[in-house]
Amino acid sequence: MADEVPMEQLRERLWPAGDDASAYAILDGARDPQVHPIITGSKLEHRCLFIGELSPSLARAAPWIVRLSRDDDATRELLRRGWGEAWGVYLRAPASSLAALHQHFRRILRVQDEAGRKLLFRYYDPRVLRTYLPTCTPDELRQVFGPVDRFFIEGERASTIGEYRFEHDALSQRDTQVQRRLHWLGDYLRKSREEPQ
């Protein structure tokens, strides 16, 4: 049985105080053909991380940064369909704008290997970022995090939420394994306590 998407727990982490201006996602259009139409067909503020005139096929496969809105249908769809399918990474950046985050993440999009070749750094793939962050030096973490307060990255199982922060010159990582709730059992137990014996 596939893991359920931990929607309630994701919403609690992305919008801990109910604010609606600090949650973002960086999503990979190459992971699924539905990513691009969901983003571009929504009212969510978004920008492509590739700049310039793009062919339609490249635009569909490109990485996008999106400001999420707690009660928006497109946000719910992106979380429901993308979490556990490696569509992207989620983050909170309370003191930043979409334009500033776009600029920051564009700066780390290209890296250079030991031979001097320029490569695309696919940090927006949760499988890459959750492997890379624990290997970073403090300077590398500073470069990756920039204005980001925390990243939320799916684990190997969709029911795992990885929370990554850069604090005190070190990476802080907390994985939460979300247990499937048996709503019917809770209702049953509540009703059985309320009924007269």
Going 76 to 101 to 35 to 52, the CA torsion angle's sign is positive
- pLDDT, one tens digit per residue, over 35-92 is 999 999 999 999 999 999 999 999 999 999 999 999 999 999 999 999 999 999 999 9
The answer to whether 108 touches 65, Cβ cutoff 8 Å, is no
The model's confidence at residue 146, banded by pLDDT at 50, 70 and 90, is: very high
**Per-residue model confidence (pLDDT) at position 54:** 94
**Per-residue model confidence (pLDDT) at position 181:** 56
* DSSP-based three-state secondary structure for 54: coil
The model's confidence at residue 185, banded by pLDDT at 50, 70 and 90, is: low
* DSSP-based three-state secondary structure for 23: strand
**Per-residue model confidence (pLDDT) at position 1:** 34
Helix axes 73-82, 7-14, angle to 10 degrees: 120
Which residue type occupies 155? G
- pLDDT, one tens digit per residue, over 109-128 is 999 999 999 999 999 999 99
Nearest to 132 by CA among 108, 114, 103, 149: 108
The model's confidence at residue 2, banded by pLDDT at 50, 70 and 90, is: very low
If you count them, how many residues does the chain have?
197
Q: To the nearest whole number, what is the mean pLDDT of the chain? A: 91
Going 36 to 42 to 45 to 51, the CA torsion angle's sign is positive
